[in-house]
Amino acid sequence: MSTGGIRAGLAALATVGLLAVAGCGAGDEPAAGADSSAVTGEVTVFAAASLTESFTRIGADFEAVNPGTKVTFSFAGSSQLATQINQGAPADVFAAASPTTMKTVTDAGNGGGTPVTFVRNQLVIAVPKANPKGVTGLADLTGPDVKVALCAEQVPCGAAARKALDAAGVRLTPVTLEQDVKAALSKVKLGEVDAALVYRTDVKAAASDVDGVEFPESAGAVNDYPIVVLKDAPHKTAADAFVAYVRSGKGQAVLTAAGFQAP
């Protein structure tokens, strides 16, 4: 297949994966650093799966204070999104769950500037409601009757999990390795595993289905989340305004309420 064909295929794939943001929840603060009356057009944001709930809300708020804009999202594992960007998928903004993943995009010359850390996130152990296996820490995950889901190590949540497990001196064999944190969490929600290492924000978003168990080693495996406008962003003005809104007081309030930590 020609290079043009590959890029066209990626564009179609990305389009299918885009999640249109709709709904209410408007804030009343103009996008920081931008004249809202001058901001129009569509912004396509590739964002880590763990940002799904927060960015969906922020996108709706951004549209409300910037009439004439529309934000569409593609949420997935950061590594998968970085690969798509480096292979030519159309996007304006990339928000990753780790600097390492962001570096694969900037090293390829696809960043439009220096990425900025806008939040941080910490792991917890997700367990079914009422914690039927009595999990209290990482060592409990090695029990012979405890099935565990982890993110794959090339995904930021998987890299953080490996770091925490190594710090605790815990060796375990997961029953599944998932490509993003939402997929790992779903294994707990569906009753397919007894525990998963996911972000605190994911447990908070799924509080009606799972409980979270904090563990001390997670403090040494906190992930920084960088964001950048991409070099070939088709809608750079709107993309700059969206990033500014994410970093504004309104955007940070949404992220903090979801359980993210300030950078």
Q: pLDDT digit string (tens) for 129-178? A: 999 999 999 999 999 999 999 999 999 999 999 999 999 999 999 999 99
Q: Identify the residue with better confidence: 225 or 36.
A: 225
Q: What is the pLDDT of residues 223-236, one digit of tens each?
A: 999 999 999 999 99
Whole-angstrom distance, CA of residue 199 vs CA of residue 223: 9
Angle, vertex CA 80, rays to CA 89 and CA 227, nearest 5: 75
* Strand pairing class (69-76; 93-95): unpaired
What's the pLDDT at 136? 97
The closest of 247, 150, 260, 130 to 205, measured between CA atoms, is: 260
Flag whether pLDDT at 181 surpasses 80.
yes
**Stretch 1-28: mean pLDDT:** 38
Whole-angstrom distance, CA of residue 231 vs CA of residue 31: 21
What's the pLDDT at 26? 34
What's the pLDDT band for 237 if we cut at 50, 70, 90? very high
What's the pLDDT at 37? 54
What's the pLDDT at 38? 74
Query: Percentage of the chain with pLDDT > 70?
Result: 86
Q: What is the pLDDT of residues 41-94, one digit of tens each?
A: 999 999 999 999 999 999 999 999 999 999 999 999 999 999 999 999 999 999
Alpha helices in the chain (DSSP H): 3-17, 52-65, 78-86, 99-107, 156-168, 181-189, 200-205, 236-247, 249-257
Q: What is the pTM of this model?
A: 0.83
What's the pLDDT at 20? 36
**Stretch 119-129: mean pLDDT:** 97
Whole-angstrom distance, CA of residue 11 vs CA of residue 32: 30
**Stretch 180-209: mean pLDDT:** 96
What's the pLDDT at 254? 98
Does residue 69 contact residue 39 with C-beta atoms inside 8 Å? Answer: yes
